[in-house]
Amino acid sequence: MTRRLGSGSLVIATHNAGKLKEISALLEPYGINCISAGSLGLPEPAEDGTTFAQNALIKARASAEASGLVALADDSGLSVDALDGRPGVYTADWAERQWFEGDPGRDWYMAMGKVEGLLSEKGPEVDRSAAFHCVLAIAWPDGEYAVYEGQCPGSLTWPPRGKLGFGYDPVFVPTGSDQTFAEIDPGQKHANSHRADAFAKLVADQFSN
C-alpha cells in the first residue's frame, strides 16, 4: 500500500498564491494544512524533465528536501495527438513572449495560434484530438514518493471561444460537451478537469478506508 499522508503541514511546491488556494481547498477536508514553498523562501528548481511526472517529482522532491516536510507538486499541460503530443511539458513555454518579442510574460493567444497554425499545415482533415494532463507528486523527505496522473480528453476548435478560462481553455472542448473550457462554468470545469481526475486518484489512495 502507498505510504499515507498524516495530518499536519504539507508544503505545496509553488510560488503561485492562486494554486496554493485551490489545492488548500481540496485538501482542507482531510485535515491537511497547506503552506507554499514561496512562503518558506524555497527556491524554484529547474524543470528539465521530459514528462509531466518527472517535472512534478523534481518540484516535490526539491521542496521536501529543502523544508524537511512532505511536499506536493503538480505539473500539467496540453497534448495534441496530431502534433505528436506537443506542446506537452512545454505548454507554458509556447506562450513565452520573450522568445519572439523581447517582452517578458505569457501570451496565451499567441500560443493557441501556434498550435492552430501547426494543425492547419496538416490540412482540413487533420485529427484535432487533444487532452489536458495533470500529474500530482507527493515526496517525503526520506525519498519515498507517490504519483497520480489525471487527464481530460477532448478536441481543439478554432477560433477561440469564451472568457471564463485561462491558458488554452478557449480552444479546448472536453469530450461530451459542445462548449470550450472557457465557456463552461468554472465550478463545472473544475469538477471534471484533468486536475480533478488526478486529485480523485490521490484522495482514493491516501484517504480511503
Catalytic, out of 48, 74, 75, 185:
75
Please say if 84 is a catalytic residue: no
Within a 13 Å sphere around the CA of 53, how many CA atoms are in the beta-carbon half?
A: 8
**Looking at the chain, how many residues does it have?**
209
Instruction: Give Cβ neighbours of residue 131 (< 8 Å, ≥ 6 apart).
Output: 78, 79, 151, 152, 153, 154, 194
Residues tagged active-site: 75
